[in-house]
Amino acid sequence: MQKRESAKNPGSAATPAKRGRPVGSIAGSAAASAAAAAADSAAPAFLFGPTLQVPISFADQNNKRIVLALQSGLKSELTWALNTLSLLSFKEKDDLRRDATPLAKIPGLLDALLQVIDDWRDIAIPREYKRSSRLRSFGENSAVTGFGNEYEQTSSVDIPSHPGSTKSWVTEWWFEEDGLFNLDQEGRSEKQQCAVATSNIIRNFSFMPENETIMAQNRHCLETLFQSIEDHYMQDEELITNALETLVNLSPLIDLRIFSSSKPSHIKIKEKDAVHGIIKMLESSIKSWHCAAAELLGRLIINPDNEPFLLSSAAQIYKRLVDLLGANAADSQAAAVGALYNLVEVNIDCRLKLGSERWAVDRLLKLVKTPHPVPEVCRKAVLVLESLVSEPQNRGHLAHHETSFAEILMSEGGRYSDTFARILYELNSRPNNKVVTARGVWGM
């Protein structure tokens, strides 16, 4: 795919960033970043906010203490550890901690952080604590067993707390998790805040290249992240956003087969569950979620080992991506085009399904005609159209737009004239003809 892109546009810009939002997700992102850099260099030093210099060896000297604080479950220790890791996981441009130990390589640190999120999820998910009634037949004629005539079929039983006392207590509290941990509303809120702060730290970890491989190969890490987005209807929005951005950062290294590997599993998740969670995010009305999900799909499909799991839901994916092409938000359109650009390179079946999708060609053309504010998005939309026309079965769908192709081709200053010339040639050539230079056919 990279060879194809470089061959068709040898003068294109450098390879887009590996991590972060999709290209063009923020209109004028390149210009905005350049302007911000220029403003930073021109602004006087006293206008900058306060900065905190962290000693180079701080993490190495306190790594055991940080892990133990996370595992302690004490509010003060957990708060200190999360505050410390929030500072350590954020690197400024002039930070001198380049030779320090990568945070994900500290023994037990990543698992301790993930356990904080798992603990919150365990109390966040509503559960039924009622026990089903069981018929006691053993010793039913004897009162000393406690299961005879004096035993009630309900889940609670009144028993004197001590001899001579008339006060009764309920045995069901042994089976109630809330009673066991004595968590009130304030305690649940604090647990939730700790989980959100932890997800932000893990997200910061994923931006560091030295942490990527460790995190992408950690089954517990991927299970927690995918479980967070699957439980989006009962989780904090910031936690879900952090989980999605972490997965996007790790996506070039993610192999979905890890969920069926021999590595120890902490949460029972299969490959289809992970894909189902991504599709749920793709169908969300929240822009940041469906943009991140589209980018995640586009990056996961690059790995051939992920194709069988993703293509099993191809119909849902294509339909939603085409819907995003017609959205009014430029971010959503850019994310959809980026995902389709990678999907059409997989196999013939992908190109045929997208070509037969209603409004797909029309909306791709509209992005080029309008045009989209980010030129890279327009270029990829044109290349998607070229991929579709390469299949003879798609030419009937594209032939209805032949006039639009010719208008773009003949327009003054047409940036994509060569590509549309090749598209028009494919539409008017016989399937058994060899491709020749379109310039000679159209007189360009």
Q: Which of 171-175, 350-354, 405-409 has the highest mean pLDDT?
A: 350-354
pLDDT at 53: 58
Mean pLDDT computed over 136-145: 48
User: Which is it for strands 168-169 and 159-160: parallel, antiparallel or unpaired?
Assistant: antiparallel
d(CA 107, CA 308): 34
Which of 113-127, 191-205, 373-387 is least confident? 113-127
Task: Encode pLDDT of 312-335 as tens digits.
Answer: 999 899 999 999 999 999 999 999
The DSSP call for residue 359 is T
d(CA 383, CA 146): 77
Q: What's the pTM value of the predicted model, to 2 decimals? A: 0.72
Q: Which of 110-119, 121-130, 183-192 has the highest mean pLDDT?
A: 110-119
**pLDDT band at residue 49 using 50, 70 and 90 as cut-offs:** very low
Amino acid at 366: K
Residue 171: is its pLDDT beyond 70?
no
Q: What is the torsional sign of CA 300, 303, 305, 307?
A: positive
How many CB atoms neighbour CB 439 within 10 A? 13
Which of 2-6, 99-103, 199-203 is least confident? 2-6
Structure tokens at 251: 């996506």
Task: Encode pLDDT of 17-45 as tens digits.
Answer: 444 443 444 444 444 444 444 544 444 44
**pLDDT band at residue 300 using 50, 70 and 90 as cut-offs:** very high
pLDDT at 384: 94
**pLDDT band at residue 431 using 50, 70 and 90 as cut-offs:** low
**Average pLDDT, rounded, for the chain:** 75
Residue 98: is its pLDDT beyond 60?
no
Structure tokens at 76: 């003060």
Mean pLDDT computed over 292-297: 96
% of the chain at pLDDT higher than 90: 36
Does an H or E element contain 192, and which? helix 185-206
Residue 192: is its pLDDT beyond 70?
yes
Residue 255: is its pLDDT beyond 90?
yes
Q: What angle do CA 29, 33, 39 make, to 5 degrees?
A: 145
Mean pLDDT computed over 265-290: 92
pLDDT at 121: 83
d(CA 320, CA 283): 7
d(CA 12, CA 4): 12
d(CA 426, CA 408): 16
Which of 88-92, 230-234, 262-266 is least confident? 88-92
**DSSP string for 87-122:** HHT---TT--GGGSPPGGGSTTHHHHHHHHHHHHHH
**pLDDT band at residue 136 using 50, 70 and 90 as cut-offs:** very low
Residue 302: is its pLDDT beyond 90?
yes
Mean pLDDT computed over 162-183: 41
Question: With contact defined as beta carbons under 8 Å apart, do 157 and 171 qualify?
Answer: yes
Report helix, strand or coil for 169. strand
